[in-house]
């Protein structure tokens, strides 16, 4: 769970933190005075072979004061918003497999890189989520109906085959048609699970039903579309000995996201694509919940306390 914000149920107890800067200041003054006192009469032998290393003492003292600060924060009963995995939802992974995905502006090519990132995305989703896989070129094909079987989704993504043309609208309609295949929740059989479409493409539609109508229907059914425009403006493919430019149409994909109520993203490298998928995963797979996190600060205190103890033991001397 990722911590997003911190608050305190007993903020009035935070006054005790005032002792932290006082202790730090006292230690600094003590250290300066000690250095001045010792340097005046230190022998050459002591300079060559110091009895203790000052940095160990610094670490021990700072860790001890940090322990006190962490315990004070725990005493104030901290709470925070954390990302908690949702119980269930369905994600339709809709991928463009048109011939333009053979462009090598993203190594080794757009499709291979997209396959790698899509599998990582699928496996980052909460385990209770259903995943469906759809590919589209001139037509759309439902390769895996909604399921929690990540292995089936990975296999389908690995087996993508490129074909001619780009029918983005058909890809959206295929996902909407598959909504009836979502397994019911045994605990709440009459409550439909939320669903989203994650659509990756590198081009613009040139065949099939209108993408605007498909995006509007998706909105009407409460299914937002997260679009990813993938590739660079300079991409091209070689077709029958001819070099054909295949630039990404970001405007069309942005419009699909806007009409459906989703979000539009773009990526021109594998690392960017993985970052985009990771962001989508967090936005659709997790919800913010407020919870007490006192034990986290107690853990910090224990860790710092151990460091302070080890520092004192390594000095083999009295506490300064």
Low-confidence ranges of the chain (pLDDT < 70): 1-5, 36-53, 81-87, 186-189, 191-193, 285-290, 315-320
> So what's the pLDDT on residue 49?
43
> So what's the pLDDT on residue 94?
97
Domain 86-268 falls in which CATH fold? Rossmann fold (3.40.50)
> So what's the pLDDT on residue 110?
94
Where are the chain's structural domains? 3-81+291-315, 86-268
> So what's the pLDDT on residue 45?
43
Cα–Cα distances in Å, from 127 out to 89, 150, 206? 10, 9, 36
> So what's the pLDDT on residue 216?
97
Q: What is the pLDDT of residues 74-104, one digit of tens each?
A: 888 888 766 665 667 899 999 999 999 999 9
């Amino acid at each position: 769970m990722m911590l997003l914000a911190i608050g305190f149920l007993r903020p009035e107890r935070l006054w005790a933190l005032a002792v932290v800067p006082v202790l730090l200041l006292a230690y600094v003054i003590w250290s300066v005075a000690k250095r001045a006192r010792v340097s005046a009469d230190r022998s050459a032998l002591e300079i060559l072979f110091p009895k203790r290393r000052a940095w160990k003492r610094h670490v021990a003292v700072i860790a001890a004061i940090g322990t006190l600060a962490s315990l004070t924060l725990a005493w104030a009963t901290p709470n925070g918003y954390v990302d908690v995995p949702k119980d269930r939802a369905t994600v339709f992974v809709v991928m463009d497999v048109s011939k333009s995905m053979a462009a090598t502006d993203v190594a080794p090519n757009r499709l291979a890189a997209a396959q790698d990132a899509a599998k990582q995305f699928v496996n980052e989703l909460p385990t209770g989520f259903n995943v469906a896989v759809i590919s589209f070129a001139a037509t759309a094909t439902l390769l895996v109906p909604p399921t929690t079987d990540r292995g089936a989704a990975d296999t389908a993504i690995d087996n993508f085959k490129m074909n001619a043309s780009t029918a983005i609208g058909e890809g959206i309609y295929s996902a909407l048609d598959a909504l009836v295949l979502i397994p019911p929740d045994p605990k709440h059989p009459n409550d439909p699970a939320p669903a989203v479409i994650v659509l990756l493409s590198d081009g613009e539609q040139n065949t099939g039903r209108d993408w605007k109508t498909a995006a509007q229907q998706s909105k009407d059914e409460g299914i937002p579309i997260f679009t990813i425009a993938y590739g660079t403006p300079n991409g091209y493919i070689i077709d029958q000995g001819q070099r054909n430019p295949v630039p990404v149409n970001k405007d069309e994909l942005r419009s699909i996201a806007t009409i459906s109520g989703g979000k539009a993203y773009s990526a021109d490298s594998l690392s960017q694509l993985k970052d985009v998928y990771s962001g989508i995963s967090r936005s659709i797979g997790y919800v913010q919940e407020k919870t007490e996190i006192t034990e986290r600060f107690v853990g910090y205190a224990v860790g710092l306390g151990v460091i302070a103890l080890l520092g004192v033991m390594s000095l083999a001397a009295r506490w300064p």
